[in-house]
Structure 1
Amino acid sequence: MDAEVSERAQTDIERVRVEVYRSYAEQGHPPSRPAIEAATRLSPAEVEHALTTLAETRHVVLDDDGRIIMAHPFASIDLHFSVKGTHTLWWGGCAWDAFAIPHLVPGEHEVLVATTCAACGTPHAYVVGTAEPPAGDEVAHFLVPAAHSWDDVVHTCSNQRIFCTEKCVDDWLAATGNERGSVFDLATLWRLAAHWYEGRLDSPYVRREPSEAKAYFAQVGLKGAFWGLEE
Structure 2
Amino acid sequence: MVTNSSLHYQILKHIIDYGFAPANEKLAELLNASVKEVEDGLYQLAEYHGVVLHPHAPKVWVIHPFALTATNFLVKSDKGEWWGNCAWCSLGVAALLNEDVSITTSYGAHGEPVTIHITNGEVQEKDLVIHFPIPMKEAWDNVIYTCTTMLVFKNEEQIDNWCKRHHISKGDVQPIANVWAFAKKWYGNHLHPEWTKWTGDEAKQIFKDFGLTHPVWNLEATAKRF
1:47 counterpart (38, 55, 71): 38
Tell me how far apart the structure 1 counterparts of residues 39 and 87 of structure 2 sit (CA, whole Å): 30
- Spell out, residue by residue over 1:54-82, the C-alpha distance to the aligned partner (whole angstroms, 9 max, x if none): 01111011121322111111111223100
Equivalent position SS for 1:205: coil
Shift of 1:130: 5.9
Indicate if the aligned counterparts of 1:81 and 1:94 stay in contact, CA closer than 8 A.
yes
Tell me how far apart the structure 1 counterparts of residues 139 and 65 of structure 2 sit (CA, whole Å): 14
1:62 to 2:53 alignment: yes
* Structure 2 length-normalised TM: 0.89
- The residue identity in structure 2 corresponding to 1:122 is E
Tell me how far apart the structure 2 counterparts of residues 136 and 104 of structure 1 sit (CA, whole Å): 20
User: Which region of structure 1 is more displaced relative to structure 2, 195-204 or 150-159?
Assistant: 195-204
Tell me how far apart the structure 2 counterparts of residues 27 and 97 of structure 1 sit (CA, whole Å): 18
Per the alignment, residue 209 of structure 2 pairs with 219
Tell me which structure has the larger Cα radius of gyration.
1
Per the alignment, residue 24 of structure 2 pairs with 33
Structure 2 residue ranges without an equivalent (≥5):
220-226
**Paired residues, what number?**
218
1:24 to 2:15 alignment: yes
Per the alignment, residue 110 of structure 1 pairs with 100
- The residue identity in structure 1 corresponding to 2:128 is E
Tell me how far apart the structure 2 counterparts of residues 46 and 117 of structure 1 sit (CA, whole Å): 42
Structure 1 residue ranges without an equivalent (≥5):
1-7
Shift of 1:208: 2.1
Which 4+ residue blocks in structure 1 deviate beyond 6 angstroms? Answer: none
- The residue identity in structure 1 corresponding to 2:9 is V
1:79 to 2:71 alignment: yes
- The residue identity in structure 2 corresponding to 1:140 is I
Tell me how far apart the structure 2 counterparts of residues 121 and 35 of structure 1 sit (CA, whole Å): 38
Indicate if the aligned counterparts of 2:65 and 2:84 stay in contact, CA closer than 8 A.
yes
- The residue identity in structure 2 corresponding to 1:165 is N
- The residue identity in structure 2 corresponding to 1:17 is H
Indicate if the aligned counterparts of 1:94 and 1:161 stay in contact, CA closer than 8 A.
yes
Per the alignment, residue 141 of structure 2 pairs with 151
- 1:68–1:219 distance in 2 versus 1, CA, 3 Å: same
Shift of 1:99: 0.9
Indicate if the aligned counterparts of 2:72 and 2:109 stay in contact, CA closer than 8 A.
no
Tell me how far apart the structure 1 counterparts of residues 135 and 4 of structure 2 sit (CA, whole Å): 29
Shift of 1:40: 1.5
Correspondence 1:94-105 to 2 at 5 A: 94-105=86-97
What's the C-alpha RMSD, in Å, of the aligned pairs? 1.8
Per the alignment, residue 205 of structure 1 pairs with 195
Shift of 1:119: 6.0
- 1:13–1:100 distance in 2 versus 1, CA, 3 Å: closer
* Structure 1 length-normalised TM: 0.88
